[in-house]
């Protein structure tokens, strides 16, 4: 990839809300509300750790399979929080983007998304991306289909290099650097269809903390664990520009 994008991209699969609530004898929605407060903590703490892009998995395309009452509750929570957090995000210089499908959510939520995206468009301290009705496979499929529909083979030059760049653009993967650190809370060790393309060289970190308990100290220990990893990108040792613990993305390295 030739795009030279500097930054530190952390992605989080925010898992464990339901179990957190169950352990307290409370309904699952109690866990989701506590999870929303954890989102606010992490967003506000992120820039201090050098994080420039933060992608949070809020609702997967497979989460529609949950009981209607839980899905409805989550959609209302997203709608309410987008509205209540808008001015705070602007004040913190956060640019918010929502990734995922927008054709299956309510008009109210879609309008809320457009409103926050518009108001936060100038933010420069952090690019916050929330994945909502998101499926990495679906995103790849859509990108391939849109390319197939719009690109003639001879438009893309060298078929392999050209196609990779064009596919990357079609996925809007050029809008954010590749993932450097992928965290999953809740103890499960799987990707659940999250950022499969962008995480090709991500460092993976599975944490036993339930998402509602996630705070500054967990983010600190995650970043510390990342800094101690040796990223080789296929070489026998890290590239010269990748000094140990330096926060650089795979794409930035020639
Ligand atoms: C993650 O927590 C939040 C969403 C998927 C919306 P879960 O709701 O999956 O919590 P657990 O995994 O059941 O504990
Ligand atoms: C992944 O969590 C999706 C989000 C955190 C939004 P799930 O709880 O839905 O994942 P699985 O079903 O355990 O793989
Ligand atoms: Mg879960």
| Catalytic annotation present for 155 | no
| Catalytic annotation present for 63 | yes
Helical packing angle, 68-91 and 28-45, nearest 10°: 20
Annotated domain spans of the chain: 8-252
Helices (H), the chain: 17-23, 28-45, 68-91, 107-119, 136-150, 159-170, 216-227
Residue 230: C-alpha distances to residues 108, 171, 237 (Å): 45, 28, 8
Spot the catalytic one: 15, 133, 178, 180: 15
Q: Any idea which architecture 8-252 has in CATH?
A: 3-Layer(aba) Sandwich (3.40)
- Contact in structure between 161 and 84 (CB atoms under 8 Å): no
**Rounded to whole angstroms, how far apart are CA atoms 55 and 93?**
16
pLDDT digits (tens, 9 = 90+) for 20-72: 999 999 999 999 999 999 999 999 999 999 999 999 999 999 999 999 999 99
Ligand 1 contact via 17 beta carbon (within 6 Å): yes
Atom of ligand 2 nearest to the CA of 57: 6
pLDDT at 167: 84
pTM of this structure: 0.92
Q: For ligand 2, atom 12, which residue shows the shortest CA distance?
A: 192
- Note every long-range contact of 163-167, with CB atoms under 8 Å and residues 24 or more positions apart, other chains counting: 164/1, 165/1, 165/2, 167/140, 167/143
**Rounded to whole angstroms, how far apart are CA atoms 162 and 167?**
8
**In tens digits, what is the pLDDT along the chain, a chain of 254 residues?**
333 346 999 999 999 999 999 999 999 999 999 999 999 999 999 999 999 999 999 999 999 999 999 999 999 999 999 999 999 999 999 999 999 999 999 999 999 999 999 999 999 999 999 999 999 999 999 999 988 887 666 566 666 677 788 888 888 777 899 999 999 999 999 999 999 999 999 999 999 999 999 999 999 999 999 999 999 999 999 987 654 444 444 444 33
The helix/strand count (H/E) of the chain reads as 7, 6
Q: For ligand 2, atom 11, which residue shows the shortest CA distance?
A: 192
Q: For ligand 1, atom 12, which residue shows the shortest CA distance?
A: 16
How far, in Å, from the CA of 196 to the mean position of ligand 2? Answer: 15
């Amino acid at each position: 990839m030739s795009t030279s994008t500097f930054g530190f991209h952390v992605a989080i699969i925010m898992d464990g809300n339901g179990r957190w609530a169950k352990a307290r004898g409370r309904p699952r929605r109690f866990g989701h509300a506590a999870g929303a407060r954890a989102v606010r903590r992490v967003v506000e703490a992120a820039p201090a750790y050098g994080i420039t892009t933060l992608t949070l998995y809020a609702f997967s395309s497979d989460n529609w399979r949950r009981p209607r009452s839980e899905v409805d509750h989550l959609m209302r929570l997203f709608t309410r929080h987008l509205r209540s957090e808008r001015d705070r995000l602007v004040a913190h210089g956060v640019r918010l983007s929502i990734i995922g499908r927008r054709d299956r959510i309510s008009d109210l939520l879609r309008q809320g998304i457009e409103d926050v995206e518009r108001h936060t468009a100038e933010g420069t301290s952090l690019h916050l991306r929330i994945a909502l009705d998101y499926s990495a496979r679906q995103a790849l499929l859509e990108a391939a289909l849109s390319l197939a529909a719009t690109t003639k083979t001879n438009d893309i030059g060298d078929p392999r290099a050209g196609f990779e760049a064009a596919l990357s653009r079609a996925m809007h993967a050029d809008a954010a650097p590749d993932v450097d650190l992928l965290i999953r809370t809740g103890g499960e060790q799987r990707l659940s269809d999250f950022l499969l393309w962008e995480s090709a060289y991500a460092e993976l970190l599975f944490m036993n903390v339930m998402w509602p308990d996630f705070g500054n100290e967990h983010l600190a220990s995650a970043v510390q664990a990342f800094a101690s990893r040796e990223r080789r990108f296929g070489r026998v040792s890290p590239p010269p520009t990748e000094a140990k613990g330096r926060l650089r993305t795979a794409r930035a390295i020639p």
